């Protein structure tokens, strides 16, 4: 593994960890503060829908192999 791959992996890992921490903090504040039930349900439905779409896209991308031929310039 060369240094550029290691730096890419480190950057990706830090970005994912930061996103998870930010999401966790937001969810904690969302459920501990007093919002209306309709607002909580609607935001929960939006987040669930986005997660389902992303998981479906990831599953499709990994299951269908890359059919593009290698290009040489």
Identify the pLDDT of residue 13: 87
The Cα–Cα gap between 59 and 51 comes to 12
Identify the pLDDT of residue 41: 85
Judge if pTM exceeds 0.75: no
- Give the Cβ contact number of residue 73 at 10 Å: 2
Residues across the chain: 73
Q: What is the pLDDT of residues 20-70, one digit of tens each?
A: 998 888 888 888 888 788 888 888 888 889 889 988 988 888 887 656 666
Contact present, 29 and 43 (Cβ < 8 Å)? no
Which tokens in the block code for residue 4? Answer: 């550029």
37-63 and 3-32 are packed helices; what angle lies between their axes, rounded to 10 degrees?
A: 160
């Amino acid at each position: 593994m060369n240094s550029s791959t290691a730096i890419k992996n480190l950057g990706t890992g830090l970005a994912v960890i930061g996103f998870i921490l930010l999401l966790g903090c937001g969810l904690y504040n969302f459920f501990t503060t007093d919002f209306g039930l309709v607002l909580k349900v609607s935001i929960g439905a939006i987040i669930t829908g986005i997660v389902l779409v992303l998981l479906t896209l990831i599953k499709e991308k990994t299951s269908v192999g890359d059919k593009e031929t290698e290009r040489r310039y």
